[in-house]
Structure 1
Amino acid sequence: MASAQIEIPRHGRPAPVVRIFGWSMLTILVAFLVNNVLVVWFDYPGLRGFGTDAAAGAWVHAALYMVAIVAAVGLVLTDLSRSLRWDAHLVHSFNVYLIRALFWSVFLVGVVDASIALLRSEQLVEPLFGEAVAGLVMRGAWVGPWVHVPLIVAGFVLALFTRTLGFVWLALLIVVAELLIVLSRFVFSYEQALMGDLVRYWYAALFLFASAYTLFDEGHVRVDVIYSGLGRTARGTVNAVGTILLGLSTAWVIVIIAFNGKQSVVNAPVANFEISQAGPFGMFVKYQMAAFIGLFGITMLIQFVSYLFDAVADKRNEPGHREPTAASAH
């Protein structure tokens, strides 16, 4: 998965337009997510509030977007000579941390929530921990904020001290979980809904969270006989145009649909800590799997910005070009 290590130049020819565009994508994304929190959790009206009695609240949202754009411009103008390669490296490094933190989070939540689900299924919570705890762990609205959230925070802390992305280990865990399902079902005739829930939970995380790093390592299949015959600068042009017209636009569509109001496909399940129809016999992670869709769009958008910076640097034939490993190139 790792690419060859090369020296990345910190400074180079100024590219203010591309850098402002790329950083604006990121700062606007932050503003969008903050606005989403204001809408879902604090009953702000969103931009739809303009022209209504809630126009004052709508100006808060608009101001956040304006601040985001100003912040992007200011960031670029404070260091005009910073190279596109270095910007790409910074953006990618943050995305790697985010993906690593998400891996640790789903690992911890998966293990702990599956254990709790097993205790619920076998009616062991009350004998071991008492009636009060047994009542609490039956409610997704309690398990989410009081069990899952601390584990997610722990995952982000662990990610600060580790370097592996965890994709290989997560794939191995999925295989082990599947093997345990086969053994328990066909050898011991024992089956619980939580078993399938755990596999689906980890598999969804593996597929959606690994996609951004796969883009960095050129691991996505590219069916293009013309592209393979192009030189570096021509490839850079194609990649830059494709990133803007197809990559960033698609990522934004996913993010906007995922977080479009209180009843969106992500906001509604997360706000209610939604659980599956299996109820207490399954894991309480359905709301997180809905959030995976939004996180997929976010990590892909961040990675596309890094990819854009690298593509424009290739088009300008700047030093520091990175060749993907032979194993990952397609």
Structure 2
Amino acid sequence: MTPQNAATMSGTDKLPNRTRFLGWSILFVMFVFLANNFATYWGGLPGAGIDGGPLGLMQLGLYPLAIVFAFELVRQNAQTTLRQDSETISNMNAFFVRACFFIVLYIGIVDTVVSFLRVEQLLDDVVGTEMTKQLGRSQFRGVYIHFPLMILGVITAIRSRVLGVEWLALMVVVAELLIVFLRFIFSYEQAFMADLVRFWYGALFLFASAYTLMEEGHVRVDIFYAGFRNKTKGWVNAFGSLFMGIALCWTILIVGMGSKNSIINSPLLNFETTQSGFGLYVKYLMAGFLGVFAVSMMIQFISYLMAAVADYRGHEGKTIPEGAGAH
């Protein structure tokens, strides 16, 4: 056991547990923010604040309750190391990103089939006239087609340890090849084909950002950083995670979900679609991609913050992800 670990376990070094408390507090407050956002704009609650009466005060009270919960979690598990918490949070994020990948994969495939049958006027023969009319409404398709596929994506993520990015990347390539093949060989092109590629491309780049951060795959301009000692690198990473990464993610969430008409909430609430009536009905989900990006990156930055403080303190157990290196 190193002197740093011994100091941590004896309670003389308070920085690790304070960092754990800060990280878990940010994480739980973010969960409360998202829950309040859903309860306010989808559930009809008044929103957190004194103007909302008892329900508003209850929503507001969830924020200090989240901080108290984080404090108790750290106090009850005082012997847990920074690296253990960092790994726990990173694994949590890996599941979240994995579920999101499978969700967009399933929705893209099914919505493409529905749109193809509609544009070729074959849907009536498959599901009937009334159901065809309903599937032409974005609200109906979102609730009765997309939402069940979201549940299926989460179930797949629970049962599978494959991240999902590989499958999505493969399907993007397949979709592009089909578009080229159909366009230049059969002169066939429909709006839903381009919508599918945009839908999957957006998910591929935004969802994979947190995974890339987890694997140390982001480009780093190593003008000074490469020559730093491990302790200095830990300080730089901790500072960047807290004041640049987490701060940016909070900015995206607050600006994008701060009101009913915000850039993330508005499309989701209205099940917004493109002007093309026979395209994919997924534009509202693409607005939500920005929220997924902010949430997944914030979770990973919290994990990164804890690992960085562990590096700063010289704690043992540092793992170097496969493929990581100087970028």
What's the TM-score, normalizing by structure 2? 0.93
Q: Distance in 1 between matches of 2:273 and 2:312?
A: 48
What is the root-mean-square deviation in Å for CA atoms of aligned residues?
A: 1.6
Match of 1:23 in 2: 24
CA drift of 1:12 comes to 5.8
CA drift of 1:328 comes to 5.9
- Following superposition of structure 1 onto structure 2, how do residues 117-132 of structure 1 map, counting pairs within 5 Å? 117-132=115-130
Q: Distance in 1 between matches of 2:115 and 2:306?
A: 45
CA drift of 1:61 comes to 2.0
Match of 1:301 in 2: 298
Higher alpha-carbon deviation: 87-96 or 169-178:
169-178
Match of 1:41 in 2: 42
**Residue 64 (1) aligns with residue 65 (2):** no
Contact 2:165/2:208 (CA < 8 Å) preserved in 1? yes
- Which residue, out of 253, 256, 259, partners 2:254? 256
What's the TM-score, normalizing by structure 1? 0.92
Q: Distance in 1 between matches of 2:135 and 2:63?
A: 40
Amino acid of the structure 1 residue aligned with 2:145: V
Amino acid of the structure 2 residue aligned with 1:242: G
CA drift of 1:141 comes to 0.6
- Which residue, out of 313, 317, 321, partners 2:318? 321
Structure with the bigger percentage of helix:
2
Please list every run of 5 or more consecutive structure 1 residues that lacks an aligned counterpart in the other structure: 1-8
SS at structure 2 position matched to 1:75: helix
Q: Distance in 1 between matches of 2:310 and 2:324?
A: 24
Q: Distance in 2 between matches of 1:43 and 1:154?
A: 27
SS at structure 2 position matched to 1:160: helix
Match of 1:285 in 2: 282
Q: Per-residue CA shift, 1:60-87, capped at 9, x if unaligned?
A: 2211101111110010000111000000
Q: How many residues align?
A: 317
SS at structure 1 position matched to 2:217: coil
Contact 1:262/1:268 (CA < 8 Å) preserved in 2? yes
Contact 2:215/2:324 (CA < 8 Å) preserved in 1? no
Please list every run of 5 or more consecutive structure 2 residues that lacks an aligned counterpart in the other structure: none
Q: Per-residue CA shift, 1:160-219, capped at 9, x if unaligned?
A: 111111222211211111111111111111000000000000000000000001111111
Match of 1:227 in 2: 225
Q: Distance in 2 between matches of 1:55 and 1:131?
A: 47
Contact 1:100/1:165 (CA < 8 Å) preserved in 2? yes
Q: Distance in 2 between matches of 1:129 and 1:326?
A: 49
CA drift of 1:327 comes to 5.6
Q: Distance in 1 between matches of 2:270 and 2:128?
A: 26
Q: Per-residue CA shift, 1:257-281, capped at 9, x if unaligned?
A: 12111111111111121111112x1
- State the percentage of identical aligned residues: 44
In structure 2, do the counterparts of structure 1 residues 118 and 328 end up closer, same or farther at CA, with 3 Å as the change threshold?
farther
SS at structure 2 position matched to 1:300: helix
- Which residue, out of 225, 233, 245, partners 1:247? 245
Match of 2:99 in 1: 101
Contact 1:167/1:206 (CA < 8 Å) preserved in 2? yes
CA drift of 1:255 comes to 1.3
